[in-house]
Amino acid sequence: MSVSKSSPSRHVTERANKKQHSKSQSKDSGRPPGPINIDSRRLLLFCGGPILALFVFYVNSSNFQLFTTGPSPRSSFALCTPEGNNIYTVDADNSRTQCVLVHKARIVKTGSLDQVQLHWDTSVVLHSIKSFTHLPVLWTKPGSIVVPGLSDSHAHILEYGASQQLPLEGTQSINDTVKRVRDYILANPDIQTDKSKFILGGGWDHTVWPTSRWPSAADLDADPIITGRPVVLQSKDCHALWVSSAALETSLPLPLEVEGGVIVRDQYGYPTGMLLDNAQELLKQPELTEEDLMKRFKITVEDAVKNGLTSIHDAGLDPTSLKFFKRQAEIGSLPIRIYGMTFFDENGEYWGNITDPIIASGDERLTARSVKIFADGALRTGGAALYEPYADNPDTNGFMRLDEDVLFKYIPLFLRDGWQVNVHAIGDRANGVVIDAFEASLAGANVTALRPRLEHAQLMTKEDMTRLGKLGVIASVQPTHAISDMLYAEQRLGPKRVKNLYAFRTLIDSGARITFGSDFPVESMNPLSGFYAAVSRLSPSGYSPHGPDGWFPDQRLTRQEALRGMTIDPAYASFTESILGSLEPGKRADFVILSQDIMKVPVNKILDTKVLATVIDGEAIYGDL
């Protein structure tokens, strides 16, 4: 099997609110009091004659801590927008409101300030906390909006943390990448003095390099600082490893062939240090310690909450991840919500009937009730399985990472035993085969109860998009992939076939339900990047090969569709729509405060939006309310 020779194409102010809630109160109570200048150490007094409670908020640039001498506003408070209905609930009617009332980590009422105040007086106070009768009201900054907690439906949590240790995103050539590795070694004395330490990095993208060849171990070994050190560098799409000779030697001998993968070899048949798809599993690396895993996790969580993410679906690239999340949930230390996909090993024993799914563990922070199956490789590295050969490399049409019979055997078994089945499929052939398997497995089944997912669903025939919609299979898509791949996609697929790549509008019009992810670290973690890409089909600088209206502008989504794609749709895709995804009574108080209205600002201003606060269970885990 050959591999592509081309460059296979990545706010409280709480205003000091001393309102007296009396019968003489003006009906204009929905309007906030005039602004009061308060510095970053904010003092809030909620008074009704004597002081009932004193809340002191200390805010800094990276976190939000609360100290209280009375009931915490994290336990009970109303969050309101000063300019009217600037809270997007993302309910079935896509309604907007002025306030949400939070009590004991859940939303208990939405509406105007008068409405939530009445609910507080007649429901919460009478039945709950008679000693604390005045409702704490927190006002957002002018111009800001509130949306449900943002979710990423497809990401790799620990892999992101690893990639940030030695990030290779943005390198412009092989030599530039090698130099970054060298500089990393020189900047870390513990690594520099120990040549046996594995050096791990990720994010290189050879599709933007001036050469069409794959990088090799020789490129790394040629540097006198790097030579003799085990170096493992993950590609941007996580479908290729570039390794040094010292890293490769630990895994020799390698088999001649790998089903569903490629060991790139030189003209003499020797491995060059490039392993694609399933071949990556052949590389032996030191087992990660709990300290290693925690370091990676903390890096990811810190960046996630800064970006407004409250829930992440971990797409099961590494089986180690889910085991780590389980351990953290057992000790009650998951700071965000995780929906974990269990890695499928076609060579291992079937476990669907002997393993219990994890549902809402750790105070509804961890759920793992799905299995992740890889059908093919990636378009960028030339491993996506196509019906016809690649336009820029007619010698190959990619490859399936497993035998088609495996899909027809195991998908119905997992569905029968109550597992959601999520299948990675990129190419049109892979998507067609997976839809065939879903079609056979779902005959007579309650699809709403099973909710199978097609992860990526990048390139599909129009007939298969129609079948997908009729079947009710969820399309888990990554809008930022579209604006990364648009730079090389037509060269790779040709002018006709490329029209069916990232065809989000066609998918929705075919009846398919979609959900948004980023596939980080492959793309930016920022969910607003996905929102922007979906509604614009433009690069962050405003470019597209098809002009200022965007790349295939007929495939753009509305802002409402895009907002749902990163809130209620991911909740549905993870069976959590009864507690997450929208701001409705009974649901968890997960929400994000954004600096401006992404539903109204000009498209080219969307990415200027800042996250002012990220809130989970009514507690601000990042920013300033």
The 3-state DSSP class for residue 558 equals coil
Q: What is the mean pLDDT of residues 247-260?
A: 91
Q: How much is the pLDDT for 4?
A: 35
Q: What is the mean pLDDT of residues 430-434?
A: 98
pLDDT band at 236 (very low <50, low <70, confident <90, very high): confident
Name which of 249-263, 364-378, 407-421, 513-527 the model is least confident about. Answer: 249-263
What ranges make up the beta strands (E) of 344-407?
358-360, 366-374
Q: How much is the pLDDT for 126?
A: 64
Alpha carbons 90 and 102: distance in angstroms, whole number: 17
Q: How much is the pLDDT for 3?
A: 34
**Domain-by-domain residue ranges, the chain?**
72-147+581-624, 157-280, 370-579
Average pLDDT over the chain, rounded to an integer: 87
Instruction: Indicate whether 72 pLDDT > 50.
Output: no
Pick the CATH number of 370-579 from 3.30.70.920, 3.40.50.1220, 3.20.20.140, 2.60.120.650: 3.20.20.140
Instruction: Indicate whether 590 pLDDT > 70.
Output: yes
Q: How much is the pLDDT for 428?
A: 98
Instruction: Indicate whether 9 pLDDT > 60.
Output: no
Alpha carbons 552 and 518: distance in angstroms, whole number: 20
Alpha carbons 457 and 202: distance in angstroms, whole number: 24
Please tell me the chain's helix, strand, coil percentages from 3-state DSSP, rounded to the nearest 5. Answer: 30, 25, 45
Provide the whole-model pTM.
0.83
CATH class of 72-147+581-624: mainly beta
Q: How much is the pLDDT for 318?
A: 81
Reported as type and span, the H/E element at residue 176 is helix 174-187
Q: How much is the pLDDT for 137?
A: 95
Name which of 10-14, 446-450, 511-515, 610-614 the model is least confident about. Answer: 10-14
Instruction: Indicate whether 549 pLDDT > 80.
Output: yes
130: Cβ contacts below 8 Å, ≥ 6 apart? none
Q: Tell me the pLDDT tens digit for each residue of 298-310.
A: 999 999 999 999 9
Q: Tell me the pLDDT tens digit for each residue of 298-353.
A: 999 999 999 999 999 999 878 899 999 999 999 888 999 999 999 999 999 999 99
Pick the CATH number of 157-280 from 3.20.20.70, 3.40.50.620, 1.20.1530.20, 3.10.310.70: 3.10.310.70
Instruction: Indicate whether 263 pLDDT > 60.
Output: yes
pLDDT band at 471 (very low <50, low <70, confident <90, very high): very high
Q: How much is the pLDDT for 96?
A: 98
Instruction: Indicate whether 10 pLDDT > 90.
Output: no
Q: How much is the pLDDT for 269?
A: 93
Q: What is the mean pLDDT of residues 6-23?
A: 34
**Would the CATH topology of 72-147+581-624 be identical to that of 370-579?**
no
Q: How much is the pLDDT for 8?
A: 33
> Over pLDDT 70: what percentage of the chain?
87
With 0-12 CB in 10 A as exposed, 13-18 as middle and 19+ as buried, what is 155?
Answer: buried
Q: Please answer whether residues 603 and 535 qualify as being in contact, where contact means their C-beta atoms are separated by less than 8 angstroms.
A: yes
